[in-house]
Amino acid sequence: MSGRLAVVGLGPGDARWLTPEAEVALAEAEALYGYAGYLDRVPPRAGQSRHPSDNREEQARARAALAAAATGAKVALVTAGDPGVFAMAAAVCEAIEHGPAAWRSLDVAMIPGVTAMLAVAARVGAPLGHDFCALSLSDNLKPWETIERRLDAAAGAGFVLALYNPISRARPWQLGKAFELLRRHLPGATPVVFGRAVGRTDERVMITTLLEADAVQADMATLIIVGSAATRLVARPDLPPLVYTPRAGEASA
């Protein structure tokens, strides 16, 4: 009998953003794996074992969850947001590709979740209303030159950008450099959204411009959306402005 591994997206934080499918996968699991900070978001359930790990041990965590599933257990590996967006689903695929042949016969299910850029976008209007791309600014797994090339290409082609992993203690200067680079392509008035811990009690959302955007306004829990030249603000009396990117009109910066 082979076990099951569900790679479950918990969404950005608000329990109402957990899908019914994810809820079922969590309820059915006999063993829960994941970064300790994400596991804490899953209420304890009798008879379920919990295996928290450090955030940087992605491959080890994927292999441990697969090994547990291979014993016949129903395992859930939890991630924030969507498991396929800069998260554990790819780590699980990689572990299967390089792991024991038996892991290829396991029942593996990726359970989608609301990814951070969608939650942040929803808070401010429709900044992702037209073509956009998502980039991780982390140079842990790819060289910084690659990130610069992609920022150049994406901003130069008129995409709105969603920036994941903008900054960390180990990567303090990259975000400032990214803003500098983007200012070469885009007007200073281009709307920029900082969405921090969206859906959690310490949520903070800020709308600014590319000219004023400052890396100190971001931390590890922040997702940044940089508009294109077409992205605009709709002023509203006594309400924050709506940020949106029209679905038609200007093609690129």
Instruction: Provide, rounded to whole angstroms, the least separation between the CB of residue 126 and ligand SAH.
Output: 17
Q: Tokens 């499918």 — which residue?
A: 21
Give 8 or 198: the residue with its C-beta nearer to ligand SAH.
198
Give 4 or 196: the residue with its C-beta nearer to ligand SAH.
196
Instruction: Provide, rounded to whole angstroms, the least separation between the CB of residue 74 and ligand SAH.
Output: 22
Strand 49-53 with 31-35, pairing: parallel
Cα torsion for 175, 181, 185, 187, to the nearest 10°? 60
Residue nearest to ligand SAH (CB): 81
What are the residues binding ligand SAH (CB under 6 A)?
12-13, 79-82, 85-87, 115-116, 120, 164-166, 195-200, 220-223
Give 116 or 154: the residue with its C-beta nearer to ligand SAH.
116
Token pair for 79: 């991630």
CB 97 within 8 A of CB 67: no
Instruction: Provide, rounded to whole angstroms, the least separation between the CB of residue 202 and ligand SAH.
Output: 10
Q: Rounded to whole angstroms, what are the CA distances from 20 to 8, 9, 17, 200, 245?
A: 11, 11, 9, 19, 31
Give 127 or 199: the residue with its C-beta nearer to ligand SAH.
199
Would you say the C-alpha torsion 140, 141, 142, 147 has a positive or negative sign? negative
Instruction: Provide, rounded to whole angstroms, the least separation between the CB of residue 200 and ligand SAH.
Output: 6
Instruction: Provide, rounded to whole angstroms, the least separation between the CB of residue 195 and ligand SAH.
Output: 5
DSSP three-state, residue 66: helix
Give 166 or 227: the residue with its C-beta nearer to ligand SAH.
166
Give 13 or 158: the residue with its C-beta nearer to ligand SAH.
13
Instruction: Provide, rounded to whole angstroms, the least separation between the CB of residue 252 and ligand SAH.
Output: 25
Residues 6 or more apart whose Cβ sits within 8 Å of residue 170: 140
